[in-house]
A and B are shown apart, each in its own frame.
Chain A
């Protein structure tokens, strides 16, 4: 009942503090009873997507909460611009801005001898009012449309979007071509400025990096054909990032990354330039390393979620076979 918990958590956020627990307990009971009723009619447990349908039908958490006696104050101009859930925050932020603006005007008038003018203060307040209102209108739109994503987006329930796979395929394809073409066209990395060549250290890492890029292409192509293999992206991301990190460890130990051609190495300026480029490449690789490390951690977390879900499904199917 993960989805139900997520949904109730979203409703809870908008409820008055003193009634929160009571309302949520009651709502949980009623929704559970509805789900059980449906299970009884179908004679099997509900799938997550069926649970999702019931909760979607129940409505937007903000609107559900608003029915439970939150004062129905809102900002409207033709249509509701800031709903009751955000209204108290809007008023609070607005007063804070007004207070702060007046204090700043007072401070400038008293301590900096700047002239105090009512028009100036009113203009500042008007600007504050406009900007705070605009921000809250945008927040309200966001809240109204993002609830489904927040409550129900559980990656292991949804197939990988074909659009996402296609875009990924284009990008990873371009990277792979670029990397594959470097031995024949070194200018793809160092440009056409003469005097610099890639150091031999890259030779040992050429094929491993190309394989990693091709693995990315294979994953996106596979998901384009089989979007239902939603476990593939986190698994591949984890493997690619970990392998990338291992390679990077050796690359970082292996500098310099660019060398000078025989004719160019004669000048001190060219040597300084080559050394600066090597340092720049080292720093860039280090940044990549940090990014891959964070990405690996996220991917590992996603893999664990998928694994837990699959184990849960397996347990559920064993239980249903055994009639537990």
Chain B
């Protein structure tokens, strides 16, 4: 098992991502952040908290999306859905999808289909903590990335929030 991001680095990375997401003059009325269930939520919570600390006067729109019903492997395995909470419109807005690990890209593909059933966003961006590069099965890349790593199919990347670290095992 290898530690890819130690606690101190993880904290800095999240802060850096929060700055990157907002540095180009973000319009909080027209931008929404959507965390992907189940594992992207903890990461998205942290990023959004950071953004709220940087901009205490702004209202940050943050929702949670479950993509279970949009998966392309429904017949292989049944997955139990989690809560989807999107209490705002995404019509004409910039949507930033937030997930912890980007691997094959299928989760994000499902998330795109799911989000398009809620409306037509102006622009969709992707923010991910770890990019398992060269492992993609679909043409999907992150716009904001914490750390890109090399990994093989037999390995797993887990974000251990209780230990505040990211491991490759």
Q: Are A and B a genuine interacting pair, yes or no?
A: no
